[in-house]
Chain A
Amino acid sequence: MTRLAGRRPRRIPVGPALVLTATVAIAVVVALGLRSPPASDVDTTDRSAPVPAPALSGATLDGGRFDLADARGYVLLINVFASWCGPCRDELPLLVDAGQRWSPRGLRLVGLNVRDGTEAVRALLDETGATGLTVLPDPDGTRAVDWGVRGVPETFVVDRNGRIVDRQRGVVTRQWLQQRVAPLLAE
């Protein structure tokens, strides 16, 4: 803090005034920040403009092939998961249920299995009754990175035109599925 030497005794000291002004300014900014919770922490869903989905193809866990490009016309729910992630285990039954229920209306559920062992995934699928799920193994996780995955679980919604229209970081809920996926199926 610096104080300018004042000749007159009644002069307002510059230093303290500056400090107080700066304090008030910072306080306002921080108060704003405290009032509205951080965007990146709370906004787990991203409803920005649809972007074309990155390519995704390869051998599935059960020996078949999957190519995103062939899935045009379907609404795709791409769930990034791993057997070592607890929340993934928890949400899988819900997703599988939705996939079965809505499959007549054009929904396909695809699991992208990140950095996992084949045995561990099979055990997980057996455990959760998701044996029929299309699972694409991603042993080193680079496919997930190509999709911009930030952590597991994460779920992407790809519309019938092959564009990512929605994504959910963290666990999906029934409510989210109804809000974000069901309308796409009705179209």
Chain B
Amino acid sequence: MLGELGTASLTVGLLCAVLTALLWLRVALFSAPIRPARLATAATFAAAAVACGVLEAALLRHDFSVRFVAENGGRQVPLYYTVTSLWSALDGSLLLWLLVLGGYAVLLAGRRYPLRLHAYAMTVLSAVAMFFFALSCFAANPFRTVDPVPADGPGPNPLLQQHPAMGVHPPLLYAGYIGLVVPFAFALAAPLAGRQGRAWLRMARPWTLPAWAALSAGIGLGAWWSYAVLGWGGYWAWDPVENASLLPWLTATAFLHTALGRGAGRAGWNRVLACASFVLVLLGTFLTRSGAVASVHAFTDSPLGPVLFGFVLLAVVASTVLTGRRTAEPARRTGSPVLSRNTVVLVNGVLLVTLAAVVLIGTVFPLLSGPLAGVRTSVGPGYYQRTAVPLAIVLLLAMGVTPALRAGGWTRAVRRLAVPGGVALATVAVVGLLSRPGLPALTAFGTAAFVLAGLVGELPDRLRRAGRGQRVGRLAGTLAHCGIALVAVGVAGSSAYGRETERTVRTGETLRVGDATIRLVGVDRTTGAGQMSARARLRLSESGRAERTVTPALRYHPARDTAVTVPAIDTGLLRDTYVTLIAVSPDSGSATLRLAVNPLVGLLWAGGALTSVAGLGAAIGTARPRRRSGATPGGTRPATVAARARVGR
């Protein structure tokens, strides 16, 4: 029953999506009434919502006649993870994707923008929705009926049942990914809409900010999940799935910056970056959802590869053909001064684009080396450490130079940078003399100190000089930059000062790293709830802290033949103590344990959270529609730092 209802809703959704695209196209071409198009958009969204609801209901009612439930549901799965198993495999996550896409479409459709620009953008959006509906209908329909109906299912992948972040990480990531479709749609619509198209940036940027914030949060939560569940002690492995989420983030970040101040004189950059961001989202979907590259996070392996790849190509060709045309830009008799926001924004853009190129080629390298050299070789973290890390440090340095831009002239710029520069040198000197973190980490510490000192120092002045509506935006910008600097400190610190050891110990023996010692008290084994688990009881003692018991576990899920190591993480103020149970002897008399001390990891999460919240704050603070009469397309206001694009009414 539920299966048929779901299939029906998908079919209706596909038809509605086609209809929506056609109706918006009629609006764009013939200035047809906008109301039917809006209704069709809402109907598409409703179909996606029904499909999601039906699948969720089937999961909750353990209706194993529905294929997706038979493959990913299970009677012993806790309620929370039953709900989240909607996005634990490709077919279900495609529904979530459709729901988010439909939501964006409804929100965008409800706005009042210049008609033709709006209609063309909605056509692009609907075409994307149509494609994914078609994919869901024909290739990945989760509602197909299973015969005979199994009595129970294996449950979602055990790795996805370990951490509460599973409930928010994928939806946030999707909100980020799909949000980038809006700037893409506007960038494609702009050349079609002619004169109206010149205002596209003002409409696109407020949509990019929340998407970017969600994407940042999604990436951060993904790293957190990886740290807390995979048990290898790290949070970022330059894995294809992680890279796929980083790629659009890099270009979207560049886009947010080039679009500042209405993107004065940077029309080409804005177009390319807006298109690239969404194309990279699609490419990432292709890379990770098709099994084209192997990954530790890829929970799905499907034959969708060629279709998705075809769509990526279509998007590249469409965006190149549509936005590749030269457009008129106002003449500028004088070049930008070397010390200007324009320069820094462009340097930032160049670096971010290069960084994206590094990550991209590293990720797709196995796909290229296979046919070209006959051997599929993937690229390890060493490559990124040699390429991406120096680029990131230079990027950070560029971020630190920003405060110097406000004042005119070199002398004042140097004076403004004197204090941050001094702080940076002092940091390098102190850290370098007290410890040996290695060259990249030490440089990163210095640069981060430079950035933080500069940002904090200029904040009061910046806020004082901001206009009434600009305060939130400026504060958010500063906080986002601070967050990035904190992330840099966290990454550098945890990789430079992390210590670990791994050994098999018998009951009563100890394992020691730095001043942290663990003693194996015993091993408990339990069976039940669809899993067998072994738990090591350990006493952890550190200097200056009370002795505590920690219990890392090793869980084996027979239904999926998967073993999961559940690390015990003892979070301190400045460092985490991270214990993993790797193996247990058959007589439970000894256990192989890995003890690691990861300093400054907390800064990483704090920085990530700060950046995301700041992004969201900027989105809320600046996207508030303000009634202004005669919003002039193209914008004549002088470009100022925090002049965020506003939604014209």
Which residues of A come within 8 Å of B, CB atoms? 1-3, 5-6, 13, 15-16, 19-20, 23, 26-27, 29-34, 36, 38-41, 86, 117, 119-120
Contacts and interface: CB of A to CB of B under 8 A. Distances in A.
Say which size band chain B's interface belongs to.
20 to 34
Contacts of A38: 366, 370, 376
B309 A34 contact: yes
Nearest to A11: B326
A1 B324 contact: yes
Nearest to B305: A34
A117 B585 contact: yes
Interface string B313-356: 10011001100111000000000000000000000000000000
14 contacts: A3-B326, A16-B321, A16-B324, A20-B317, A29-B372, A30-B292, A32-B371, A33-B292, A34-B305, A34-B306, A34-B367, A38-B366, A40-B375, A86-B561
Given A5-B326, A33-B371, A36-B371, 4 more contacts: A6-B326, A15-B324, A29-B371, A31-B309
B562 to A, nearest CB: 12
A67 to B, nearest CB: 30
Contact of A119 (B292, B320, B324, B586): B586
A29 to B, nearest CB: 5
A39 B309 CA distance: 21
B482 to A, nearest CB: 32
A47 to B, nearest CB: 15
Contacts of B366: 38
Contact of B320 (A20, A27, A86): A20
B532 to A, nearest CB: 14
Nearest to B561: A86
A19 B324 contact: yes
B324 A30 contact: no
A23 B326 contact: no
Contacts of A26: 368
Contacts of A2: 268
B379 interface: no
B83 interface: no
Given A30-B367, A33-B368, A40-B375, A19 B586 contact: no
Among B324, B374, B376, B561, find the residue whose CB has the most chain A CB atoms closer than 10 A: B324
Given A16-B320, A19-B316, A34-B305, A40 B292 contact: no
Given A1-B268, A1-B324, A39 B370 contact: yes
Contacts of A6: 326
A6 B326 CA distance: 9
- A-B complex: 8 closest residue pairs judged by Cβ atoms: A16-B324, A32-B371, A38-B376, A33-B370, A33-B371, A16-B320, A19-B320, A1-B272
Contacts of B306: 31, 34
Contacts of B375: 39-40
Contacts, number: 74
B325 A13 contact: yes
Contacts of B309: 27, 30-31, 34
Given A34-B292, A117-B586, A120-B586, A13 B326 contact: yes
A68 B299 CA distance: 43
Nearest to A23: B316
Contacts of B586: 117, 119-120
Nearest to B586: A120
A24 to B, nearest CB: 9
B560 to A, nearest CB: 13
Contact of A23 (B290, B320, B376): B320
Contacts of A23: 313, 316-317, 320
Interface string B355-387: 000000000101110111011100000000000
Interface string B295-316: 0000000000110010001001
A77 to B, nearest CB: 27
Contacts of B321: 16, 20
A131 to B, nearest CB: 19
Identify the interface centre among A6, A31, A36, A38: most chain B CB within 10 Å of its CB.
Answer: A38
Contacts of A39: 370, 374-376
A30 B368 contact: yes
Contacts of B368: 26, 29-30, 33
Max chain B C-beta neighbours (<10 A), residue from A6, A36, A40: A40
A13 B324 contact: yes
A26 B312 CA distance: 12
A40 B376 CA distance: 7
B514 to A, nearest CB: 27
Contacts of B290: 34
A29 B585 CA distance: 48
Nearest to B321: A16
A108 B321 CA distance: 66
A38 B378 CA distance: 12
A27 B268 contact: no
A33 B374 contact: no
Contacts of A33: 292, 367-368, 370-371
A38 B290 CA distance: 13
A6 B324 CA distance: 13
Nearest to B372: A29
Contacts of B325: 13, 16
Contacts of B374: 39
A19 B376 CA distance: 25
A41 B324 contact: no
A40 B267 CA distance: 45
Contacts of A3: 268, 324, 326
Contacts of A117: 585-586
A117 B585 CA distance: 9
Nearest to B319: A19
Contacts of B268: 1-3
A29 B317 CA distance: 17
Interface in B212-264: none
Contacts of B305: 34
B385 to A, nearest CB: 24
Contacts of A86: 561
Nearest to B269: A1
Contacts of B324: 1, 3, 13, 15-16, 19
A15 B272 CA distance: 11
B32 to A, nearest CB: 31
Nearest to A9: B326
Which of A3, A30, A39 has most B Cβ within 10 Å?
A30
Contacts of A29: 367-368, 371-372
Contacts of B371: 29-30, 32-33, 36
